[in-house]
Structure 1
Amino acid sequence: MSVTESIKRRLLSMKRGEPFTNTCFLKLGSRSAVDKALSRLVKDGVIQRVARGVFVRPKKSRFIHNVMPDVSRVIEVIAKDHGETVQVHGAEAARRFKLSTQMPTTPVYYTSGPSREIRIGNLKVKFMHTTSHRKLQHAGKKPGLALSALWYLGKDGVDDEVIQRIQEGLSRKEFEELRTSKMPAWMAGAIEHYAQGEAHG
Structure 2
Amino acid sequence: MTRRRTIEELISEARPGDVFVPADFAETGSADAVRKALSRLVSAGELERPIRGLYRKPRRSAFLGKGVPASPDEIAEALARKFEWHIAPYGDTALNRLGVDPQVPSVVRYVSDGPYRTYQYGPYTIEFRHTANRDLSRLNPVAATVVQALKALGKSGVTGEKLDIISSRLDDSQMDKLISGTRNATSWVREAVREMQERRTQNA
TM-score range, shorter chain: 0.7 to 0.9
Aligned partner of 1:183 in structure 2 is 185
Classify the secondary structure of the residue corresponding to 2:141.
Answer: coil
The count of aligned residue pairs is: 196
Identify if the C-alpha distance between structure 1 residues 162 and 136 changes in structure 2 by more than 3 Å, giving closer, same or farther: farther
Identify if the C-alpha distance between structure 1 residues 193 and 79 changes in structure 2 by more than 3 Å, giving closer, same or farther: closer
- Identity among equivalent pairs (%): 26
Identify if the C-alpha distance between structure 1 residues 173 and 25 changes in structure 2 by more than 3 Å, giving closer, same or farther: closer
Aligned partner of 1:170 in structure 2 is 170
Identify if the C-alpha distance between structure 1 residues 86 and 34 changes in structure 2 by more than 3 Å, giving closer, same or farther: same
Aligned partner of 1:17 in structure 2 is 17
Q: Which whole-Å CA distance do the structure 1 matches of 2:14 and 2:197 have between them?
A: 45
What stretches of structure 2 of length at least 5 have no aligned partner? none
Identify if the C-alpha distance between structure 1 residues 196 and 53 changes in structure 2 by more than 3 Å, giving closer, same or farther: closer
Identify if the C-alpha distance between structure 1 residues 148 and 12 changes in structure 2 by more than 3 Å, giving closer, same or farther: same
Identify if the C-alpha distance between structure 1 residues 60 and 169 changes in structure 2 by more than 3 Å, giving closer, same or farther: closer
Instruction: Supply the AA of the counterpart residue of 1:184.
Output: T
Q: Which whole-Å CA distance do the structure 2 matches of 1:73 and 1:93 have between them?
A: 15
Q: Which whole-Å CA distance do the structure 1 matches of 2:178 and 2:109 have between them?
A: 22
Give 1:102 shift: 4.1
Aligned partner of 1:138 in structure 2 is 139
Instruction: Supply the AA of the counterpart residue of 1:14.
Output: A
Give 1:51 shift: 2.0
TM-score by length of 2: 0.80
Give 1:132 shift: 0.5
What stretches of structure 1 of length at least 5 have no aligned partner? none
Instruction: Supply the AA of the counterpart residue of 1:175.
Output: M
Question: Is the CA contact (8 Å cut-off) linking 2:106 and 2:124 kept in structure 1?
Answer: no
Q: Which whole-Å CA distance do the structure 1 matches of 2:100 and 2:167 have between them?
A: 12
TM-score by length of 1: 0.81
Classify the secondary structure of the residue corresponding to 1:165.
Answer: helix
Q: Which whole-Å CA distance do the structure 2 matches of 1:200 and 1:15 have between them?
A: 40
Q: Which whole-Å CA distance do the structure 2 matches of 1:124 and 1:198 have between them?
A: 35
Question: Is the CA contact (8 Å cut-off) linking 1:110 and 1:136 kept in structure 2?
Answer: no
Q: Which whole-Å CA distance do the structure 2 matches of 1:109 and 1:191 have between them?
A: 21
Aligned partner of 1:32 in structure 2 is 32
Question: Is the CA contact (8 Å cut-off) linking 2:167 and 2:196 kept in structure 1?
Answer: no
Q: Which whole-Å CA distance do the structure 2 matches of 1:96 and 1:25 have between them?
A: 31
Identify if the C-alpha distance between structure 1 residues 90 and 136 changes in structure 2 by more than 3 Å, giving closer, same or farther: farther
Q: Which segment is superposed worse, 7-16 or 76-85?
A: 7-16
Classify the secondary structure of the residue corresponding to 1:76.
Answer: helix
Q: Which whole-Å CA distance do the structure 2 matches of 1:196 and 1:8 have between them?
A: 51
